[in-house]
Every structure is written in structure tokens, then in C-alpha cells.
Structure 1
């Protein structure tokens, strides 16, 4: 049966996974040593052609265009149907978290389970995204009318798509702000346990996203919508990759990150850093250390919502500042004319395995524990069972999740090592350039492991 902590907050991962059984200081120290040792091992791999042979290996997968044209509309129609059920059960379904389909589907099935598939398998969100349906339907109507030679109808359709542009100087900063805002809302509000509030948030997000996409066009999902950008970023890590022409290929996990740097747009690096930080923040606020630190501040008269927001922004600024400082140090140690800004963009993809490993460590146990409840409620979302069952994970799982964090960091070391040899000529410059990156990764590793090893404590004042 469900533990009290899980039942208390269906959207929270903290109470669903036990903390590690080994001492925190030993776990943190071991993690730092493992990352440092991984770097020392990779320095022995200096054959650039051999590294390219690993990173560039791929196996073409069948992807008939006719099948794609049939599957994508069907999949998107199904996702629209699921979204409508989420809204309906959120507004009128049971109020108990473990019996409400909306809460279980959003937090367990989607944010925990589906998100993991985007980096473990491949990013299917462009095909499933229900908020793309109105834009896709409008574009389909426009194309049909163009084919029929209806000039007036063509102009009418075009006036609804792409009428508003997202200013280029903004880059993808709107998505950064959106991601930070969504995580702050998830932490400080009962959106994870109140189905009515969750349905309201989903409805508001749906209306804003559909309206924005109809006004700005597909660029909305590329530069503004934080959810689409999260899945697109994680998808670059996955073994199944989709080319611009729709072709599919199977690759070794993470190797697609070694080929292309981020686009030269404001906020690209900041978004990946934010993706890494928000998962850390989500775990940090559910630790006894956070409760002990925030209580005196709130007692002194500072509003709790302000404290949570200030720490969210300060932590993001710290993570981003540390990364940018490392990029400048890379330029010095490599003795290169490549600008620090270019170095930031070049090595930023190496952060994705860290973020994915941390997400998996946090959410896999949460997903496994509540998946039976989700399956039971999904069979009858409007009349769910009275007491859905959930799994109680064995005590040793607390140590297994640490392996996910370390695996992500080790893969990040390999990606950074490969990127260094792609950017800098010669062996010595490529190896020396990684010194600052390794220091940053050790910092990220030790921070992540410390959070993972802390016992769960409900975030105070929210």
C-alpha cells in the first residue's frame, strides 16, 4: 500500500524514494573520486579516429514516409483525447491524489515515466504534443486550400499563423523563464496534490500555448514553450535519433551530443543549466537541511514564497556562473583563440547526461512505486478503485539510484572529452582544456549526490 508521504503529495518525488543507506559524506566523496577517475581514464584515449568511430556509429532504422503521415495524426489525436480526460478528471474526478487520474497521469505517467523515455529511447514529443494539434490542423487546411487554388482562403489561413514574431534578441530566454516558473509553481503550490488546481494550471497552460503557437507559428515550440524544449534537449541524448528529413537512426547513447554545438542564440546555454538546476532544486527543498535553513528566515518576516523564489534564482545564477567561469578557464588552459562564448555553447551538451542521470535517480523509483496505481485508475478514470495499490521499493534501491547519477556524470565526461578533441587541435590542448570542466562536473556531482542522500522532509510553509 502507499506510504503516507507519497499519498500526501502525488506530484512530489521526495517521499516516494528512500534515501541512500550509506553515509552521505562517503557517497559524496566517492562520487567526486569516480568522476575524477573517469577523466583520468579518458585521457588515455587520444585516438581521434577511434573516438569518432564510436561517436559516429549509427544504424539506419526503417521510417516509411507514408507510415509517418498515418501514425503522427493518430498519435496526436490520442494525446488530445488524453489531455481532455486529464482536464475532466482534474475538475470533477476524485479529490484523493492516488485515485485521481489527472494527478497520476501528469506526475507519474508523464513527467516521471514519459520524460525518461525521451532520453532513454527517443524524443516522440513532436508527434504526441497535443498543443500542436490546432496549429497542425490550421496548416493542413491552408495547404488544402492552396492546392485548391482558393486565394482568399489562403490569405485568411495565413493571417492566423505567424502573425506575431518572437524578438530575436530574446533567443530562448522565454523558455528559461518558463521552466523556472513552472518548477517554482510545482514546489510552492499544492498543484501536485490538488486535482482542481492542477486542472486549472493545465487549462491555462494549454490556452497560452495554443494561442502563442497560432500567433507565432512553430517558432513558439522552439523558443518559448519550456516543455517542448526540455524534451528536445533530452532527446539529443537518446539512442534513437530523428534527422531533419524524418529518417531514424540507432546510435550509442549520448554520442549524438558530440556532433553539433548549440545554436548561437541567447539563452541556449542558460536553458541547459536551468534544466540541470531545477531537478536539483526540486530535491533540495525536500531535505531537512532546507527546512532548518528556511524556517529562521521566514520567522524573521520574509514571505516563504519570496524565499523559495530567491533561492531558485540564486541557485540558477550560481550554476550558470560556475559554468561560464569554467568556460573562460578552458580558454586559458587550452591557450586558444576560440572565444569563451563559443566554448560555452560547444561544451554545454555535456551537461545533458548529468541532468538525465539526476532525473532518472529522482523519478524512476517514484514511477515504479505508483505505476500500479496509475494502471488501475486508468482503466476507469471516472470511477477508480477505492484503494489503488502501489509498490514499496526494497531498501537497496536507495543505493541503486546513486548509480544513475554517477552513470550520467561518467557519460558527461566522455561527451566533454570527445567535444574537446573536435574543437582543439592536438592532444595536449584537448586534454588541458578539460581540467576546468572536470572541476565543474565534480562540483555538480557532489551537489547532486548530497541531495540524493538526504532523507525526505516535506517543504515547509508550502
Structure 2
């Protein structure tokens, strides 16, 4: 067997093992009809006609490209890409505090998940995962700064283990690339949808323990390459962190316009890295889709097919559709730009511009979620073993629905601007960079309309109760 076929076979085997693992978990999980990972009843749909939302949002993104056409000189683009300030700060003590805090939060999630209240709404472990970490901390990562490499409890635990005992190490198989993280991300979000991870604290603690064991063992064997190629959580925060206005550097902190680090991203992403960006973009949409009445209608239409099977097919099929659409746009960009640059290179060069789309949808999906449940989190955190019998939540204002749409559109507008900036880094002249963006603008408009359609859909159990 030749070397290329061996690499392909190994990648296929790993993918099949990952798929089998998540299918097994889904099969033993209690089937659910609606999104389980968002504390049901905590999200609101946008109070606007969905056709108006879709058409207006797509039109705004398309118009933004027409506006960007007039900005074609390097000096003006440099204001967005290169402007910023550097701040030299002593951060050693802060880094140590963040590392210890990450481990303590992990222990709290497992401890309260196993031994805390059985009602998820008042269990600190559940609130730490969904409200504090996946919603709030993720928003902090792309809105302010990425500190996950310091907070990451598994990275800290592995470093402690390696200092204490001598552990064997192996070279990470380069043939696998980042594909394990792609299927890992799809699998985690699918598992979140089909299992009661937000309604059963014990189940959540079990998944966290299992994930911890796999991550610690893998990182102990393969070192930091595990977090660079395999761990989907680390890769998600790394991408979101590039969007943040504050960047951590060797000389301190660098403050610049949001998204400038993505515009300055000099590496050309490989196909597996591009696939991960597409997966991140898709799962943010999928995560919101499964909370809508439209998804409930799909489940009713295909009954008696189990909900976890429908979710699995949708998770994989949706990712494949998004990935194929983006690769097709890359091939068309090669034609419209009339260039000899390979389509694979074009796809890898423009992939960073997709990150703001995922962040914008995440912000739209979870901003009201964090706002509404923040008093619950504070009340339970102050007395986690015996939380108050009555918990107050913030009533979400009616204008929040409009703000959700704004977040989605802003993410897409920033995506268009980053792609516009990067096109002038790749192609010479003024017309060729513009022509290269035509297919990507079409794809971005379709992504925008899809995201806005999901946001505009009525949700199952809408409203904070």
C-alpha cells in the first residue's frame, strides 16, 4: 500500500471511530425534541416577518461590498489592519491566577454536577458550563481578549502532571491534521442537542469527566499538538480570539480594531483548517436551528425516526453543504479573478474572514441568554448548596430581537471587510482583488440569509420563565 493511501486510510479510521463514539452516546441518551444545551425557555425569537429579515439582511451585506469597492488603496486599508497600540504589563501573577481559577471551575462543574441540586436551573455546575463559560466566556473571548490558553484547565493539569512524573510522548500523526477537531466539534454540538446535558447535572458531569480524561491522556502523550490539532474547544477559542480587539503578544498586549488580527493572518489555512472554520460557522447556525419550532416540525414530519438520528444527519449534512458551497466559491473566485493561484490556496487565504460570521451569530444567540439568566447565576453562585427557592430573571426587552439581527449583520459586514482587505494582500492591482470576491459575496449573502432566517424563527418555549 502506498504512503498516500495509508494516510487516507488512517484518517478514515479515526473519523469512523469518532462517529461511532458519538453515535453510541446518542443512542443511549434520552431522545429530546428540542435544543437541550440552552436551558430550555431562555431564548427569544425575533419579532419580525422572517421574509423582511432575510431580504433586508442579505441586501445590507451585498450593499456593504459595493461600498467597500470604493476603498481600494493600501493607505486606507492600513487604517483597519495596522493601527493599534501596545501595552507592556506584568502579567505573570495574573496568568497564575487564571490557571488556578480554570482548574477550580472545572472541579466545581464536576462536583456540583454530581453532588449538587438535581434541578438543572439551580445547579451551579450547569450554570457554569452554559451561562458562564459557553455563553459569557466565549463572548468575552471575541469581544475583548482570548485568555483560554491560560484558563484552559486541561492544559494546566497536563503541565502539572508532566512536571511531577515522567510521561511517554509520541509524535502526532501529521496525516490526521486537524480533522479530529472537525469531527470532534460536530460531535460535541450534536451530543449537546440529543442528550439532556442542560437538564441533567449528573449527565453533564459525566460528559465533562469523560472529556477531561480523553483530553488529559491525549495531551500527555502528544503534548501541545493535541490542543493545536485535536481539541475542538481550544481551536474554537483560538479562532474567536483572533477577532478580539486585544491580542496577547510576547511584548505585552496589543490593542487594535476588532478583526484586524484576522485581516493580518498570514498563514494560508490547509483544507482541514478550512473545514474547521466551516464547522464552527455551521454549528452556530445548527445550535440555534434546533431550538426553533421549524426544527420541531421537521421531527414531527419524519417521525418515527429517532430525533438523535435526524440531528446526526443534519449536523453532518449541513456541514457538508456549507463546506461544498465555500469550496465552490473558491473555484469560481479563481475564474472571476482570472488568476493562476490554486483554488485550495484561495480557500485557505479567505477562510479567516468567516470567523466574524460565527461570532456574530453566537452573540445574537446568547446575548439575551446571558442577560436574562445573570441574576440566577449570581444567586446560585452565592449559595450553591442551598439556592433560593424563588429565583428572579431579567425580562428581556422587546428591542432585543432587533439587536439580535444587528449582531448577525455586523458579523457579516466585518467578514466582508476582512475578505476585502485580504484580497488586496493576495492579488495585484485594483480590479483583480475585487473580482475575486464576487463568489464569496454571494456565499456570504446566502450565509447571512440562512442565519437571519434561523434567528427570526419562533423558538420552542420562547421567553425566559
TM-based fold match above 0.5: yes
C-alpha separation between the residues in 2 aligned to 1:189 and 1:10? 7
Residue in 2 that maps onto 1:112: 135
Residue in 2 that maps onto 1:179: 185
Task: Determine if contact 1:11/1:103 at 8 Å carries over to the other structure.
Answer: no
Question: What are structure 1's unaligned runs of at least 5 residues?
Answer: 1-7, 142-155
Query: 1:340-387 CA deviation, whole Å, 9 max, x = no partner?
Result: 111011000110010000000000100111011111111122222222
Query: 1:199-240 CA deviation, whole Å, 9 max, x = no partner?
Result: 101111111111111111011111111101100000000001
What secondary structure, in the 3-state scheme, does the structure 1 residue paired with 2:37 have?
coil
Residue in 2 that maps onto 1:188: 194
Task: Determine if contact 1:169/1:266 at 8 Å carries over to the other structure.
Answer: no
Residue in 2 that maps onto 1:399: 402
Residue in 2 that maps onto 1:307: 310
TM-score, with length taken from structure 1: 0.90
Deviation at 1:390, TM superposition (A): 1.1
What secondary structure, in the 3-state scheme, does the structure 2 residue paired with 1:242 have?
strand
Which of 159, 168, 172 is residue 174 of structure 2 equivalent to? Answer: 168
Structure 2 residue 44 is the aligned partner of structure 1 residue 18: yes
Aligned residues: 429
C-alpha separation between the residues in 2 aligned to 1:389 and 1:205? 33
Q: 1:30 to 1:358 in 2, by over 3 A?
A: same
Residue in 1 that maps onto 2:433: 430
Question: What are structure 2's unaligned runs of at least 5 residues?
Answer: 1-33
Residue in 2 that maps onto 1:100: 123
What secondary structure, in the 3-state scheme, does the structure 2 residue paired with 1:192 have?
coil
C-alpha separation between the residues in 2 aligned to 1:373 and 1:254? 33
Structure 2 residue 218 is the aligned partner of structure 1 residue 218: no
Residue in 2 that maps onto 1:151: none
RMSD: 1.7
C-alpha separation between the residues in 2 aligned to 1:139 and 1:259? 35
C-alpha separation between the residues in 2 aligned to 1:59 and 1:262? 23
Task: Determine if contact 1:13/1:366 at 8 Å carries over to the other structure.
Answer: no
Query: 1:388-414 CA deviation, whole Å, 9 max, x = no partner?
Result: 221110112111111000000111110
Q: 1:10 to 1:89 in 2, by over 3 A?
A: farther
Which of 202, 207, 212 is residue 201 of structure 1 equivalent to? Answer: 207
Deviation at 1:297, TM superposition (A): 1.7
1:16-415 to structure 2, matched below 5 A, reads 16-64=42-90, 67-68=91-92, 70-140=93-163, 157=166, 160=167, 163-243=169-249, 245=250, 247-299=252-304, 302-415=305-418
TM-score, with length taken from structure 2: 0.89
Task: Determine if contact 1:97/1:195 at 8 Å carries over to the other structure.
Answer: yes
Residue in 1 that maps onto 2:6: none
Q: 1:109 to 1:95 in 2, by over 3 A?
A: same
